[in-house]
Amino acid sequence: MFSFKLSNFSKITCSSIVHYAKILDTFLIPSCTPFTALKQFVFLSDASYTQCLTWDRKTWLPDVTPLRKLKAFISLSVLLLVNNHVLFYILTNEVVGYHKDPELTLAATLLLVIALSLAICAFIASQIYAFKGKTVCFIYRNVETLRQICQPEIGIPLRRINPIGLFLNLCVTLVLLFPLVCVTAPFLGLFAGNAAMDPGYFLTRSLTFIPPIGLLVLRMMINFFGSLHISIVLLGLVIILANVAISVTVCLDWLFGENKGPEGFTMLKKLTRFRKELTVYRQLEIVFREANDTLYYLLPIVGLTFFVSAVLLSYLVIKLHATVPLLIMFLSGTVIIFIGAILHFMLPLVSEILARSEALLRLWKLGATSRSGGWTKQVRSCCRLRLYVGPFFYIETNTRTGLMGLIFYYTASLLISA
């Protein structure tokens, strides 16, 4: 009798837990998908200033913004260009010049190198938005159109909460936090006794006719608007590319699911079905060619920036923690974690596209061997979907492991030799 009541009680409890879990998932847990991150980023960036891409709030497809509305964007890009020239001149003079800058300590030099690297990446990304905005719109629009064709036939919706979605939503949060932290850099320089801890100091130290309080306010404004532009441009491009990569993966899942196993070979004999699949894959090839052309200069510089920043910041956190303010230490550790998160989430997302396209072409070639002429030639003319890092290499499965291994190796070498 007691066991019967206990079993009934457990059934009622389990059903209640499942019921409340569904309620929590529906009402209380926010959606943390990559597409939600894109929406939140669009709302936030448009509230800051007019962007190069204007998003339709009904279809959520981008279009190029007219040049006359981009006064703030152009002004901030010019500010980045001036910043890059000044910091590059200071660092070059420190390396090759005979007279060294007494204000540049080792910690300040490391921060200056990282600031210059981020500013260069942001300036190149801003030029992509400004001069290749139509290409970015072309890539996103076509991939979303293909996804809408393929996803209804898959019937597998994206999970409400997934790791990539959480990471991209965190990127949206960093768009707000990064400028607020950079505003405090002038005060950290004052507390540390070395104004060179603030990279914006080098842009204003020659303006001796401005009173000190005016210079402090000017540096805070430069840091805020410069860091806001850097975070919006770089993180926005990361969010857009992640959504594009996920849409391409959905299309490849549909293509691979239709051709997997013996049933796929029988469906390959249907000319209409194969033509539809081949059309989708051909469009993906065009998208990747445009993406490789658009990101030709950006990806190598971003990869080098990630590598140099991770090594130098790790050295700063481990070796120079006694000479650097606590907030800069915390910011350095946050940037290291963020770089690791990008390498951990984004590189496998891109390499998975290459792996699935290789598996799909392998199945197509096996199915086309029994067919004649045109079928075999069409299948053999398809190429793998690769994302190239400039003229150097393409992203594959072991790229993440190799890059992280290099970061650990050179960090350890720098710590041992210094």
Chain segment 210-246, per-residue pLDDT in tens: 888 888 888 888 889 988 999 999 999 999 999 999 9
- Does the pLDDT at position 37 exceed 60? yes
pLDDT attached to residue 192: 64
- Does the pLDDT at position 145 exceed 80? yes
Distance CA 418, CA 415 (A): 5
Q: What is the mean pLDDT of residues 279-297?
A: 91
Task: Kindly report the average pLDDT of the chain as a whole number.
Answer: 80
Q: Provide CB contacts within 8 A for 113, sequence distance 6+.
A: 91, 308, 312
Asked if 251 and 276 touch (Cβ cutoff 8 Å), the reply is: no
49-58, 74-83, 89-98, 219-228: the lowest-pLDDT one: 89-98
Q: How confident is the model at residue 336 (pLDDT cuts 50, 70, 90)?
A: confident
Distance CA 408, CA 28 (A): 41
Asked if 232 and 45 touch (Cβ cutoff 8 Å), the reply is: yes
pTM of the predicted model over 0.85? no
Asked if 289 and 385 touch (Cβ cutoff 8 Å), the reply is: no
pLDDT attached to residue 272: 66
**57-67: b (≥16 Cβ within 10 Å) or e:** eeeeebebbee
pLDDT attached to residue 317: 85
Task: Give residue 255's Cα distance to chain centre.
Answer: 26
**165-184: b (≥16 Cβ within 10 Å) or e:** bbbbbebbebbeebbebbbb
Number of CB atoms found within 10 A of residue 308's CB: 16
pLDDT attached to residue 41: 92
Number of CB atoms found within 10 A of residue 410's CB: 17
pLDDT attached to residue 286: 92
Distance CA 183, CA 128 (A): 27
Distance CA 44, CA 179 (A): 13
Q: Provide CB contacts within 8 A for 277, sequence distance 6+.
A: 255, 258, 259
Q: What is the mean pLDDT of residues 59-75?
A: 90
